[in-house]
Amino acid sequence: MSEGKMPDNIPLEKIDDFRWRIPRSYKPGMRVDGLIYADEKLLKDIRQDKALEQVANVAFLPGIVKASMAMPDIHWGYGFPIGGVAATDPEKGGVVSPGGVGFDINCGVRLVKTNFQYDDIKSKLKELVYALFSDVPCGVGSKGDIRVTSKEEKQILTKGSKWAVEQGFGTQEDLECTEEYGAIPDADPDAVSERAYERGRAQAGTLGSGNHFLEVQVIDQLYGREECDSLGLDLGQVVVMIHSGSRGFGYQICDDYVRTMMPCLKKYGINVPDRQLVCAPVNSPEAQQYLGAMRCAANYAWNNRQCLMHLTRKAFEKIFGMSWQKMGMSLIYDVAHNIAKLEKYEIDGKEKTLCVHRKGATRAFGPGHPALPQKYKKIGQPVIIPGDMGRNSYLLVGTKKAEETFYSACHGAGRLKSRTAAARSINSDMLLKELESKGIIVKASGRATVAEEAPQAYKDVNDVVDVVHNAGISKRVCRMRPVGVIKG
C-alpha cells in the first residue's frame, strides 16, 4: 500500500465524544472492530490519509484481542498506522508483526529535570544550545565519541542502559526511572545480522535525524498539583527532553525480518490484506528470532538515550560550571514508543500473556502497577508526549482506565504533512526567524530538516493530549514550551 492522499470513506460509529468504532463488518476477514481515540476536529485530519484503512487491516491479524486501536496522533505508516496499538493472544495463534513495531525500534523519549528557572539560564541560553549542538552528535549517519568494540556492542544489546551506567555515564537511579529498567530480558544477539552490527557500532550516543531532537523546555502550565509536587516540578522550571531511538541498528533489524518473515504468511496460512503486515505466530521459531533481535534493538536504544543524557549533562556542566547533581539534573522517566512486549492482562476473567504492539504509542501503566518503581506506584507511570518545536510538549501519567487500551496512550502530535510535502511548502529561513521571534533558538544539521519538522507539518499536540486526557487513558500533569531545540 502506498501513502494515500485522498480522504477515506470508512464508516465510523460514534461511541462517545472521544471514541469511534470501525465495525468489523466493514471488511470480510476483520476479526475485531477498529477503535479510534479522537474528537471531531482531529478526525477531519485523520481522514486525510489511509491510516483508518490500516486500522481495519490490522484487525485481520490472527489472535488479535478486543480491537485494533489507534491513538489521536494516528497517521499512515508501514503496515500498521503510526499511533496503532494491537494485542494478540499467543495461545490462540496470536502473531507478532515487525510492521507493528516499525523501523525505528524503541524510538522513545526521556525527560530530565533541572533546578533552574528560565530566568536563571536565559542569558546563557544561546551558548547552551550551541554547546549541546556541538557535543551531542546529530544528523543522518552521525557517529559519536562513545565508540564501542564488537564485544561491547553485544553487551549493550543485553544490558541496555546498564552498560552506559557501568561506564560512568549515569546512575542506578537513572535505571529505576527507565521503562524495563533500561533493558528488556531475552534479547538474542545471535538473531542480529552482521549488517545491523556494522550500522550500530559507531552510532551509540547519537541523536540521529528526522523527528529526533533534544530540547531545552520551560514548564508553562501545571495541571496535577499532587503529581507535580511528587515529581518536584513547578512553573518556570527548566527541563530537557531527548527523543531518539535505535538508529540504523534497529532499522536494519526491521528490514531483515520483514523480508525473512514473508514466507511465514504461506507457511502458517495467514491471510492479511496488506503484505506489509507480514507476521508469524508468537510461539513460532521465526517470531522468537525476531523478538530476540527486536529486544536487542530496544536495549540499544535505551543505552543510546542514556548516553545522550550523559552528554547533555556534561554540556550543562561546561556552561554553568557546576556538577549535574548540583543542577538537579535527574531523570523523570524514559519511555519507548515502538515496541512489542509480552504483558499480562485479564481477558474474559482469565489472566493472559499477550503480545502488545505499540507503534507510535506510549506505555501508560496506572497507579499501583507491579512493573512500576516504588516512587511511581502512587501517581502512575510518567507518560512523556513531545509536540513540535514551535508549540508545546506534555508530561502526563498513566491511569487504571488505560487498561482498556492495554495501558497505551499517544506518543506525540502526529504528522499532518509528509516530510517531502513540508520541505516543498515551508521556507526554513522564514521559519527560523519566526521561531526566534517567539524566543526559540534552533540549531539543526541541515535546513531541510527544519522545514520537514516545521510546526505546520504536525497536528496540534494540545488537541491530541486533550483527547487522551478526556478519554481517561492518561492524566495531564504539566505542559512545557521549547526555548532551545537541537535537530538532526
Q: Which H/E stretch holds residue 280?
A: strand 280-281
Q: Which stretches of 43-126 are assigned E, i.e. beta strand?
A: 67-75, 82-88, 95-96, 108-117
Strands (E), 186-236: 213-222
Measured between alpha carbons, how far is 204 from 17 in angstroms, rounded to an integer?
44
> Would you name the residues annotated as active-site residues?
411
Q: 3-state class of 68 per DSSP?
A: strand
CA-closest candidate to residue 81, choices 90, 72, 94: 72
Other beta carbons within 10 Å of 158: 18
**Is residue 143 classed exposed, middle or buried when 0-12, 13-18 and 19+ CB atoms within 10 A define those classes?**
middle
Q: For residue 367, count CB atoms less than 10 angstroms from its CB and return exposed for 0-12, middle for 13-18, buried for 19 or more.
A: middle
DSSP string, 340-394: EEEEEEEETTEEEEEEEEEES-EE---TT-TTS-GGGTTT--EEEE---TTS-EE
| Contact indicator for 454, 434 with CB cutoff of 8 Å | no
Task: Copy the grid coordinates of residue 397.
Answer: 501519567
β-pairing, 393-398 vs 474-487, is: antiparallel
CB atoms within 10 A of CB 113: 21
Query: How far apart are alpha carbons 294 and 117 in whole angstroms?
Result: 40
d(CA 144, CA 28): 50
Residues 51 and 84: their CA atoms lie apart, in Å, by 9
- Burial call 187-219: b when 16+ CB within 10 Å, e when fewer: bbbebbeeebbebbbbbbbbbbbbbbbbbbbbb
